[in-house]
Amino acid sequence: MKIKMLSTIIAMVFALILSESNSMSADKNVIWLIKPGFFSGSDFYNGLARVQIDNRRSSSVNLEGKYVDSVFHEGLTSFRENNKVGFKDTKGRVVIKPLYVDAWYFSGGFARAQVMLFDAADWVNKNMDELIALNVRLDQMANASKLKMKGWGFINKEGVFISKPEFSELTDFSEGIAAGKKSDKWCCIDTNGKFITQFDFTLVKPFSEGLAAVYKDKKWGYINKDGKLVIEPEFNGVCNFYMGIAKVHKGNKAGYINRDGKFVIKPKYSSIGDFHDGLAYFNDGGKWGYMNREGKIVIEAVFSRAGNFSEGVAVVEKDGKRWVIDKNGDRMFDIPFVAGSVFSEGLLDIYENGKNGYIDKEGNVVIDPQFDDAGQFKEGVARVKKNGKYGYIVNPLSSGRQEKFLENSGLVIGEVKSISKSEIIVKKNDSAKSIAINDSFCLFSGGKIAVLRQISSDKGEMICEVISGKMQGVRQGLKVYKYKTIETGAIGRQYAEVK
């Protein structure tokens, strides 16, 4: 009896050890930046992620895993007082009084701000003109009455509107031009508040490479920065220009045009993707393949599914099986899991038995499936969900392995030439010919990733700023890699929060 009981105890202890061992194995590469505890969370962007703490509280967190109550943009952060928004500097001094019903962060020296408009005749024809002409602030209009409606406008860093706050909607400035909506029509204004178009359009997209898509008479065309229609509205759907070409739909077919409005890839495909790593997927007869920017098919349309190229590889599917291909279409390795669509920072999310994990670019399982949800790694961190709550994990790949993957994918675009207090000068190589103004870059210093954005560029060099990570330890000669195309407006509005 005693022997049987002892055997049972031993078996139970062994089972417990085995269970703990399996648990440790599953967690061996899980490095928590912030353990699960949030109702929801965004991906990291420019070093910050937005999190919902509970039903009432939200905040931002940084790459050190700490709460950031005041998010600064161009040296200013917004705050609320008596249900109005104002702005403080980095020393906590109020530089713009809380006068606005709503306000967004500063970008390019301006912020979108909303006020209550007064009686239209008094406000628009008299008071607002005086406000602009005399640089009078809104607090000097505090005794005005007859509140009627809300209006958006742009303020500068003195809190002065550059034009009448008469818009029901506003976009951020893009290449020095913003779009404003009034009475269901859109116009375009510059940073002086000057109208470059009237309210002529049903929709307006942001400017990119000097052109903006506009919707008029149920068709899309493009205007230049003088507000002139340079590509007549004739398309059913359009995208922004990127490296001299833009995707358009004519009828139910897709192609690409140049800045003259001429087709460089004829609209004969039911679907075409955006160009990533120089290649775009396309659909021909229900099958997917890849073409280059000249429209030449480089990988034949044989796949039932095809993802964007990222870091030199793409995930494809055929006959119910998935594998990874390189830019020549060569099969690198099979994926015996349901998988995400793109690699990010050397890792791809996978799904097995109801749980998510990650594999690397050699097909090795780096983090065993254990999460209820798993996002892409961005700026060295990924958002994951476990036990019903969201947290953030750190990329477990060493910087050496990540650099190896990037180098093997041909993504080295130059090296650090010199460093100042706030800028990094990059000496470009021949591969840098394939980069555009909205591309971002990365380097590795002290084992951690730093993400760069170019401020200016010429033929041989570009000046960059660090938008995520730290400049500490960055030195001359470090390799710089192409990272991602910057998603404009991804950070959203950021208000001051109290923990």
Examine the fold and report which residue of 229, 253, 279 is the final residue of a domain before the chain moves on.
229
Q: Which of 29-33, 144-148, 169-173, 267-271 has the lowest mean pLDDT?
A: 144-148
Examine the fold and report which residue of 201, 229, 257 is the final residue of a domain before the chain moves on.
229
Report the percentage of the chain scoring pLDDT > 90: 76
Reading the block at residue 398, the tokens are: 């060493």
Q: Is 299 helix (H, G, I), strand (E, B) or coil?
A: strand
Rounded Cα distance between 381 and 58, Å, is 20
- Average confidence score pLDDT of the chain: 86
Burial 237-261 (b: 16+ CB within 10 A, else e): ebbbbbbebbbbbbeeebbbbebeb
In a domain, 362, yes or no: yes
In a domain, 242, yes or no: no
Q: Is the pLDDT of residue 134 over 90?
A: no
| pLDDT confidence of residue 61 | 96
Q: What confidence tier does 12 reach under pLDDT thresholds 50, 70, 90?
A: very low
CB 456 within 8 A of CB 465: no
In a domain, 9, yes or no: no
Rounded Cα distance between 461 and 434, Å, is 14
Residues 224 and 301 in one domain: no
| pLDDT confidence of residue 50 | 94
322 forms bridges with which residues in the sheet? 317, 335
**φ and ψ of 147, to 5 deg:** -60, 135
Q: Is the pLDDT of residue 214 over 70?
A: yes
Burial 285-298 (b: 16+ CB within 10 A, else e): eeebbbbebebeee
Average pLDDT for 153-160: 95
In a domain, 115, yes or no: yes
pLDDT tens per residue, range 429-483: 998 887 877 789 999 999 999 999 998 888 899 999 999 999 888 999 999 999 9
Residues 188 and 108 in one domain: yes
| pLDDT confidence of residue 27 | 67
Q: Report the helix count and the strand count for the chain, using DSSP H and E.
A: 4, 43
> Per the structure, how many domains does the chain have?
3
Stated as kind and residue range, the H or E segment containing 408 is: helix 399-408
Sorted by sequence, the CB contacts under 8 Å of residue 426 that are 6+ apart come out as: 413, 414, 415, 416, 417, 441, 452, 461, 462, 463, 464, 480
| pLDDT confidence of residue 313 | 95
461 by Cβ neighbours in 10 Å (0-12 / 13-18 / 19+) ranks as middle
Sign of the C-alpha dihedral, residues 302, 305, 310, 313?
A: negative
Residues 426 and 350 in one domain: no
Average pLDDT for 251-275: 96
| pLDDT confidence of residue 118 | 54
Report the percentage of the chain scoring pLDDT > 70: 85
| Higher pLDDT among residues 435 and 162, named by residue | 162
In a domain, 462, yes or no: yes
**φ and ψ of 26, to 5 deg:** -65, -30
466 to each of 72, 110, 298, how far by Cα in Å?
A: 15, 21, 36
Residues 307 and 177 in one domain: no
In a domain, 119, yes or no: yes
Q: Is 127 helix (H, G, I), strand (E, B) or coil?
A: helix
Rounded Cα distance between 294 and 314, Å, is 20
Q: Is the pLDDT of residue 219 over 60?
A: yes
Residues 410 and 327 in one domain: no
Average pLDDT for 279-305: 96
* Residue in 480, 330, 324, 333 with CA at minimum distance from that of residue 406: 480
Residues 323 and 422 in one domain: no
Q: What confidence tier does 13 reach under pLDDT thresholds 50, 70, 90?
A: very low
Rounded Cα distance between 429 and 431, Å, is 6
* Residue in 31, 25, 29 with CA at minimum distance from that of residue 381: 31
pLDDT tens per residue, range 46-97: 999 999 999 999 999 999 999 998 889 999 999 999 999 999 999 999 999 9
Q: Which of 130-134, 218-222, 289-293, 471-475 has the lowest mean pLDDT?
A: 130-134
Q: Please identify which residue in the block is written with the tokens 């021949």.
A: 430
In a domain, 38, yes or no: no
In a domain, 66, yes or no: no
Residues 352 and 425 in one domain: no
Q: How far is CA 327 from the centre of its chain?
A: 24
Residues 149 and 288 in one domain: no
Burial 144-182 (b: 16+ CB within 10 A, else e): eeeeeeebbbbbbbebbbbbbbbbeebbbbbeebbbbbe
Residues 296 and 193 in one domain: no
pLDDT tens per residue, range 353-400: 999 999 999 999 999 999 999 999 999 999 999 999 999 999 999 999
Average pLDDT for 245-269: 96
CATH code, 405: 2.40.10.170
CB 498 within 8 A of CB 80: no
Q: Is the pLDDT of residue 420 over 50?
A: yes
Reading the block at residue 456, the tokens are: 């200016």
Residues 364 and 410 in one domain: no
Residues 81 and 223 in one domain: yes
Task: List helix spans (H) across 27-161.
Answer: 120-122, 128-133
Rounded Cα distance between 108 and 78, Å, is 16
Examine the fold and report which residue of 207, 229, 251 is the final residue of a domain before the chain moves on.
229
Q: What is the pTM of this model?
A: 0.82
Residues 201 and 111 in one domain: yes
Rounded Cα distance between 68 and 49, Å, is 10
* Residue in 49, 32, 28, 31 with CA at minimum distance from that of residue 40: 49
Q: Which domain holds residue 444?
A: 400-485
